[in-house]
Structure 1
């Protein structure tokens, strides 16, 4: 799947340590299970819209998993079963992705936070939640925690993307602005083809819209994804998300952002920019380090943890490191609640 597989790389261009398994010896799945080929539980938000929610495990505290920009709940196929051995854990497909209905445009942070709040209410998820966000999902989680602080007991943020990159890597930013014009033109072609029911296509250029099958998924899951990505709703959403990202990532982290003493762990990947041009790599790394340090400083209980041998997709490369961090903040949140 071209965009689903490459979407995180697009954003990474824009902007570990393992733990033992639980007492039940839960193993880490190496392929996306066939269960992701269909919806789990469709939560009605009203106005004819539904969001697909996947929950597993049990416990007094619920962990909510927020995917990256162009990903859906399947990005957590390794992390969710490991966490389910410890507590209740839920992942969902944002509007326009996976099995969720298309949402009103634009698909910006405000829209995502509003949808998430509605999902939590309509699904009856017990708050406060521990929220885990990857890439753009970390921005969604942070904004949700700022808007609804009483509903978030702790946060784990996986490799939050660099902000204010232009100040650190101006050459990269100039190239990215040029490439964005080409990228959006291509995405509009894919959307137009989908609207004409012309996807999949044998046309050389349009065939790139759907790209190759996901090697981490079975034939059943890939077939379901192909059908979903052939619909106009997917392409409308992708376009809107990527267009909105400029407003998210071009400025630095706001000096007004604060999360009090909420437990917060930022997991920083070692190889986020491994494929960047040597000319740009130092500036990109500086921008990421500055961004993640600023995020950690928004909480008096903030911690930065480096994850070795990981690309931007920590949840795929080092799922045990994610579980370790979540278990840690679960303990911190429990201790905090007892002292209040």
Structure 2
């Protein structure tokens, strides 16, 4: 028998073959679907990228506005406020085109302010003194409405030795030289002077007296800054002065330049140095103006920065000459610590004052004001006024007899 033929059939299927084929079809279909959806996904990513870019550009605009607008507003405000807030004094040329602000009233003692502060601190003092004598208040170079020192960069060091430009700005020597130019040359005030100074101003007053003793009748020193301050108690004041005080004023200067200080004053975050005192509205506004003025704050920083040079200069002078004994000296301090600074700093300051009295001013009259601290100028002005009036009366009586 011929062999039986096997009927034609489809190729044998392995187990799962149908599922495999279906899977291949699904895979192919899936691949096609993916291929179709891919452009949609790319479009979405592009849109997201554009949206992110738009948000970044918008944020950048706001940042630029925040950086540009406050400084511009502050600058425009300073220009507008200058003429309306400037006291009724005059600017005197003290040489090299530099002008210092001074205001006089009555027929009395020139006064000098604490470190980095303007003549506004005498607001509650000088009107009372002007009833007894002529009173002149002034702003040191760069502070308040006085101009910053002029430096002739074209001059050599040798040429500066023979000009007023020889002194390093913002040091005791330059401050004394400015004072002498202002009061004896530019304005020619009547002499002799009774000098009234607080803190750094007291140090400058002593410095001037030692150099120009013939021009001075008496000294009234209020919480005087001593050149030995940094030597007390392992230099606690050195750390505070250069580690905290100067950086704080530098941050104020930056804030003023960016216009942020004006915003902080407007919303009440920041207060001016004389806040809380019963001061005329004009003085309040002027203090805010100065706190927003980068030029003024730059000079405040410089006075603090060069304090070691000032200390060195007066130490050298004391080796050669002391305060003459024929000049009446009254030193006024409070018996309360300044609550704005830590106790160790108050103790070191008190020690430096005692050292100043015992070593350099043994003939001085020391008045301790009960309940007063470093802010007595505007918190307890009578404590300052009475000793000055007493000195004025003694001079007038002596002059009358002569």
Taking structure 1 as the reference length, the TM-score comes to 0.74
What secondary structure does 2:120 align onto?
helix
Contact 1:266 1:303 in 2 (8 A): yes
CA RMSD of aligned residues (A): 3.4
Taking structure 2 as the reference length, the TM-score comes to 0.63
> Which residues of structure 1 form unaligned runs of 5+?
1-34
User: Structure 2 CA distance, aligned partners of 1:319 and 1:295?
Assistant: 26
Partner residue in 1 for 2:36: none
Counterpart pick for 1:130 among 182, 185, 194: 194
Partner residue in 2 for 1:245: 307
User: Structure 2 CA distance, aligned partners of 1:279 and 1:68?
Assistant: 21
User: Structure 2 CA distance, aligned partners of 1:334 and 1:293?
Assistant: 30
Instruction: Quote how far apart the aligned CAs of 1:310 are.
Output: 0.7
Contact 1:159 1:314 in 2 (8 A): no
Instruction: Quote how far apart the aligned CAs of 1:202 are.
Output: 7.9
> Which residues of structure 2 form unaligned runs of 5+?
1-82, 151-167
- Report 1:189-338 matches (<5 A): 189-192=251-254, 194=256, 197-201=257-261, 211-213=270-272, 214-216=275-277, 217=279, 220-249=282-311, 254=318, 256-273=321-338, 277-278=342-343, 282-297=347-362, 300=363, 302-334=364-396
**2:113 maps to 1:55:** no
User: Structure 1 CA distance, aligned partners of 2:377 and 2:175?
Assistant: 21
Structure-2 change in CA distance of 1:115 and 1:272 (3 Å): farther
User: Structure 1 CA distance, aligned partners of 2:304 and 2:115?
Assistant: 8
**2:234 maps to 1:170:** yes
- Report 1:90-105 matches (<5 A): 90-104=136-150
Counterpart pick for 1:39 among 81, 87, 109: 87
Aligned pair count reads 294
What secondary structure does 1:233 align onto?
helix
Structure with more relative contact order (C-alpha pairs < 8 Å, separation 6 or more): 1
Which structure has greater helix proportion?
2
User: Structure 2 CA distance, aligned partners of 1:103 and 1:53?
Assistant: 16
What secondary structure does 1:75 align onto?
helix
Structure ID, larger Rg: 2
